Structure 1
Amino acid sequence: MSASLFPDREAIGDLPNPMGLAGIEFIEYTTSRPQALGQLLEQMGFRPVARHRSREVLLYRQGDIHIIVNGHQGGLSGQAQPQEAPRLAAVALRVRDAAAAYQRALDLGAWAVPSQVEVMELNIPAIHGVGDTRIYFVDRWREFSIYDVDFVPVPGVDLHPPALHGLHVFGVVQYIGLDRLDDWTTFYGELFGFASMPREQSFGVLSTGSILASPCGQIYWQLIEPEPDTADFEGDELLHRVAFGCDDVLATVADLRTRGLEFVESTHGVRTQERGALTQTRLGSVSFELVRDPR
């Protein structure tokens, strides 16, 4: 789709939405040091609220954001063993009908992820994403959610901790290979209805690459090609980081600094501003982006 068809942000929600996409249900990280990643998430305002019934998996939550920390050794079919440095391994999309969305993706050429379901677990359909990541389809997120089946609440905790400064998932940043922009734009466009935004329109403090907008108007997917002087990208295609929207970037940064987080300042032109901020990389691979979201 031509970005010129969508000159402003308000038009994005009127795009065709073939899967009934309605945002992101959860983000999953894998790591052999789940406690270390958990401590970092708690500094970001998340709280551990539930444990998986049969695997070493913890659910962290604040507001409407769910992050799954998967430290389970053994993994799933085709999934790499957790390494010490956390890896962004999966994104679960909220859709109108998970089975229908999954079948549509397969019909359009997506690769299926074999299901491995234990007793008392839900079968959540998934396809392969970039690298060895997965894209899940979830249609249970309202009154009855997937966590009501697969997870057991942590005793004595607030199961619904409020979001710090209105934090919510704004988007995902994906590093792609050289000359792969058209391929990935087509992938997200044909399967999910994402559309390219005008080059001059950007969010936050990291405006490189191409930004795709979801038809539901809730998610932005940023595709970044490698540059010779990019130290943290060695050529592999991968999901790199999550961007969180908030109502006031400077206030959010000030609060997070009191919790021990540090932010990138004056590196390659990146510094904390009213429009956005970037945390310094922790645990060898994890950084989070903050974006002022005027919605």
Structure 2
Amino acid sequence: MSIQSQATASDRESILEVANPLGLDGIEFIEYTTSKPQALGQVLEMMGFRPIARHRSREVMLYRQGSMNVIVNAHIPALPDGAAPTDKPVIAAVALRVRDAAAAYRRALERGAWAVPSRVEVMELNIPAIHGVGKSRIYFVDRYDKFSIYDVDFVPIPTVDPQPPAVAGLHFFGIVQYIGNDRTEDWAEFYRELFGFTELPDEERFGILPKGRILRSPCQPSARFYLQLIEPEASVLDVEGDEHFQRIGLGSADVLAAASELTLRGVEFVESRGVHTEDRGALTKTWMGSVSFELVHNER
């Protein structure tokens, strides 16, 4: 290899490092907290998820379909401030896959993130986390290939397939985040500076609810996901204190096929003048006062 080619390779690695400062590689799991885990579990099963494992020492259940993991946490206390979960489910955490969890955590703190104190009990993994929107956490996970975090903290449910197939190829597409008035720039900078997200132009939109600002993760295409930042309508008073993750976006190469299969499972979709199921996307009804899913056409 010539000196010139060595320099080129070095420069390329440097550019990639800057573009993906924490080494993001997709979403490992999304966690709900609720005091009604069975009811939420029924919703998840309608959506194609299956319960595959229970936590060793806490009231926590792991659901899975395809490459997606969803954790239902009814443990008290489940939230970072020690508050008990409520009847209405809340997206309390998002775990991001990274090359090196400790390194990603340190770098996030160096860039201004706030650490979440860990509450690790005996025989539990210590998964580093920072504060996200509202009272949520953002975890960093580097054990997701041959050995995973669930091998330590969870006990498989006997006779259950640990790798249930996804409905019509569903996969994590992204998360919708509700934010306060005039907070779009603040949150865009947060995700850009800490994680390397990039903003999509206004003309590049997905699904049937093209509101707010779309941010793209710096992951490789096979693991890429998006964040949608939505401010309240202009007529709504300031709601800065109610910022939170609102719903999960699920990608599918065939939205109509996915919606059809989910309908057979009992899922109802919103059909109104402004929102209806089509090949670009679909929106489920809301369960338990807060849980809904958005289907988005996505060729992964």
Aligned length: 281
1:288 aligned partner: 293
1:78 Cα deviation (Å)? 1.7
Distance 1:95 1:14, change over 3 A: closer
Q: 1:239 maps to which residue?
A: 245
Q: Note closer, same or farther for the CA distance 1:15–1:247 as it changes in structure 2 (3 Å cut).
A: farther
- 1:189-245: CA deviations, max 9, x gaps? 010000000011111111000000011141100000101567xx8961000000000
Taking the aligned partners of 1:166 and 1:176, their CA distance within structure 2 comes to: 30
Letter in 2 for 1:225: E
Question: Unaligned stretches of 5+ in structure 2?
Answer: 1-15
How far is the alpha carbon of 1:80 from its aligned partner? 3.0
1:154 is matched with 157
Q: Pairwise mapping of residues 224-235 of structure 1 onto structure 2 (< 5 A)? A: 224-228=230-234
Q: Secondary structure at the match of 1:22?
A: strand
TM-score where L is the length of structure 1: 0.92
Match of 1:169 among 144, 169, 172: 172
1:10-48, Cα deviation, whole Å (9 max, x unpaired): xxx998111110000000000000000000000000000
Select the residue among 259, 262, 266 that pairs with 2:268: 262
Write the mapping of 1:181-192 to structure 2, written as runs, cut at 5 A: 181-192=184-195
Matched, 1:140 2:170: no
Residue 79 and residue 173 in structure 1: after superposition, are their counterparts in 2 closer, same or farther (change >3 A)? farther
Q: Give the secondary-structure state (helix, strand or coil) at the position aligned to 1:89.
A: strand
C-alpha displacement of 1:108? 1.0
What's the counterpart of residue 272 of structure 1? 277
Instruction: Supply the distance in 2 between the matched residues of 1:79 and 1:198 (Cα, whole angstroms).
Output: 40
Which residue in the other structure is 1:16 paired with?
19
- Say if 1:196 and 1:212, in contact at 8 Å, map to a contact too: yes
Matches within 5 A, 1:48-67: 48-67=51-70
Secondary structure of residue in 1 paired with 2:24? coil
C-alpha contact (below 8 Å) 1:76/1:116 kept by paired residues: no
Q: Would you tell me which structure has more helix in proportion to its own residues? A: 2
Report the RMSD for the aligned CA atoms in angstroms: 1.8
Point out 4+ residue stretches in structure 1 off by more than 4 angstroms.
Answer: none
Correspondence for 1:223: 229
CA distance in structure 2 between the aligned counterparts of 1:14 and 1:273, rounded to whole angstroms: 38
Partner of 2:133 in structure 1? Answer: 130
* Counterpart contact for 2:22–2:108, Cα < 8 Å: no
Say which SS state the counterpart of residue 152 (structure 1) adopts. Answer: strand
Counterpart contact for 2:35–2:74, Cα < 8 Å: yes
Q: For residue 248 of structure 2, give the secondary structure of its aligned residue in structure 1.
A: strand
- 2:5 maps to none
